[in-house]
Amino acid sequence: MTDEQLRVTPRLARVLMSEEAVYGLILVSGMIVVSGTIVGTSVNALVTTAVTVVVFFLAHVYAGTLGRLAMTDGKAGLGESLLASARHSLGLLVASVPPLLILLLGTTDLIDDTLAIWLALIVNTVMLGALGWIAVAAWSTHWTSRLLGGVITAAFGGILIALKATIHH
């Protein structure tokens, strides 16, 4: 995207259209698969996934801060580097909210544990597909390119769903 397009794009859209958001959704899917398979409860998947997302976010912010300081020989300043890195990494946290809310519903027994885990994985995959479609739409008007971008991005979630199905049975 050009600087002009980024200025007119709403802030949330910019956060969700980041590599960190895509990475966050893939991370969440992987954690749901692992934590949901070990114990099989949505509370276990929720806690494990939420803690992992926060740790990865903090590690990403820390690494980004160090990288910015190193690239500017410290001239960017610690506060500025930390804030820029946190803003850059925000997609990782924001993208994890929908699947974590679904897992939370499972912990309250509003929906079954197993359903919450599978629904969170499906929502992640749909979100990945949508992000892939939208990202390609920013540079291509061809629906086939958009579809391919959506399918490829969603495939990361689909692979983890297949892994979950294989491990679960």
> Does the structure show a pLDDT above 60 at 3?
no
Give the distance from CA 15 to its chain's centroid. Answer: 10
Residue 101 inside a domain? The answer is yes
> Which residue has 């679960």 as its token pair?
168
Residue 62 inside a domain? The answer is no
Q: What is the pLDDT of residue 97?
A: 93
Q: Residue 82 and residue 78: Cα distance in Å, rounded?
A: 6
Residue 74 inside a domain? The answer is no
What pTM was estimated for this model as a whole?
0.81
Residue 46 inside a domain? The answer is yes
Domain count, the chain: 1
The domain in which residue 13 lies consists of 3-54+93-168
Residue 120 inside a domain? The answer is yes
Residue 29 inside a domain? The answer is yes
For the chain, how big is the Rg over CA atoms in Å? 18
Residue 153 inside a domain? The answer is yes
Mean pLDDT value across residues 21-35: 87
35 closest CA partner among 22, 25, 50: 50
Q: What is the pLDDT of residues 139-166, one digit of tens each?
A: 888 989 989 988 988 888 888 888 877 7
Residue 116 inside a domain? The answer is yes
135 closest CA partner among 151, 157, 120: 151
Q: Which two tokens stand for residue 169?
A: 């049975």
